[in-house]
Amino acid sequence: MIERLSRDQTPAPASARKAAPAEGTGRGSGAASVRHGRVAAGLAELERWLADQVRQGLTAAGERDWADLARRLVDAQAPGVAGIVSRLARVRAEDDWPGRLLEEYALLHLLAVAYRRRAELPEPLARTVLIRTGFPVTREEVLAGPVVRDRWDVLGRRDETQDRLTARRVWLRGRATGRAALVLSFAPPGRPLDDSLVTGAVIDADLAFYPGATPLRALVAGAPEDAAGRGRAGGPPGVSPEAAMDEVARALAGDPWIDSWPLVLADVVPTRAALGGFPLHPGARDPWWLIAVSGGRPVTVAAEWSPRGLRPLTTWDDDGTVVIG
């Protein structure tokens, strides 16, 4: 069964998912108090470990060290943090790894400190910290909250393999509200992914957002309207690169652990290395398809922002036809 979930969270390692009890944020229960004690001890160890890495140098730790630390964080019932640590080996393989690794260490330290001082944080940010740490939010809790009704442009999607699962990220943006949304689905090898949200479509739907300081991950609350509510209406409204960067800055101000965000850039001329002044992600597909549609003229492009650059997803030609990257 494929469950439509939705980091923005990526799933923690399989061992981490098995270790995490379904206890929500766990307020007011004895089991939750025990878990919070274990998490606090695990993150205190993480803080000490990070301080040692800075003192010893970025080359001191290797893949085995990160794997051992991730296992200890799983034992401490902090699967979200364990998932971040387990992906550090991929950072080490990048060309610009020293700066990227230091950035990841800084974000891990910030998360550990924020957890320790969560009682001092505004409630939405405290919820973000708990979710990032690995305290689950149930589907029922999300759907019981308020919903946002809009006509949502399905901007694009991207599939990736994560810990023996295939994850599909589908990006949406509301026509009236301008809100960004991410719907995730996961499937084991050999099983199909949810394909109900079609790139280029405009759906009339209610979205229920996961709690947090910068709500992004969402569930579709009920089936979107089909014939009448689903259709194509040309490209979505876009913004200038400057406005897009302001949007990303606001998102990061609320949740500094966000690692991707959907943008719709208007009147940009793509090149092989950049889009509207944003560098392209090193892992992005070669943008010749986008350059061909543009023909040297400004176009509207939907893209996935990350700290490493943009991944173009979709563009629209002169007559509003969707072209998927």
pLDDT of 4 over the 80 cut: no
Both tokens of 35, joined, read 């878990």
In whole angstroms, how far apart are CA 177 and each of 48, 180, 226? Answer: 44, 9, 21
Q: Which helix (H) or strand (E) holds 37?
A: helix 30-56
Provide the residue count of the chain.
325
pLDDT of 3 over the 50 cut: no
pLDDT of 53 over the 90 cut: yes
Contact call for residues 306 and 322 (beta carbons, < 8 A): no
How is the chain split into domains, by residue range? Answer: 21-133, 145-220, 241-324
Neighbouring CB atoms inside 10 A of 29's CB total 11
Q: Label residue 30 by pLDDT band (50, 70, 90).
A: confident
Residue 204 main-chain phi, psi, to 5 deg:
-95, 110
Rounded CA separation 243/117 (Å): 33
Characterize 120-135 residue by residue with b for buried, 16 or more Cβ atoms within 10 angstroms of its Cβ, and e for exposed. Answer: eeeeebbbbbbbbbbb
Rounded CA separation 256/302 (Å): 22
Question: What's the pLDDT at 28?
Answer: 52
Q: Label residue 225 by pLDDT band (50, 70, 90).
A: low
Choose between 63 and 20: higher pLDDT: 63
Q: Which helix (H) or strand (E) holds 213?
A: none
Question: What's the pLDDT at 229?
Answer: 43
Contact call for residues 11 and 165 (beta carbons, < 8 A): yes
Question: What's the pLDDT at 22?
Answer: 36
Which amino acid is located at 150 in the chain?
D
Neighbouring CB atoms inside 10 A of 301's CB total 31
| pLDDT tens string 161-205 | 877 889 999 999 999 999 999 999 999 988 999 999 999 999 999
| pLDDT tens string 245-303 | 999 999 999 999 999 999 999 999 999 999 999 999 998 989 999 999 999 999 999 99
Q: Label residue 325 by pLDDT band (50, 70, 90).
A: confident
- Quote the mean pLDDT of the chain: 88
Beta strands in 113-146 (DSSP E): none
Q: How much is the pTM?
A: 0.86
Question: What's the pLDDT at 8?
Answer: 42
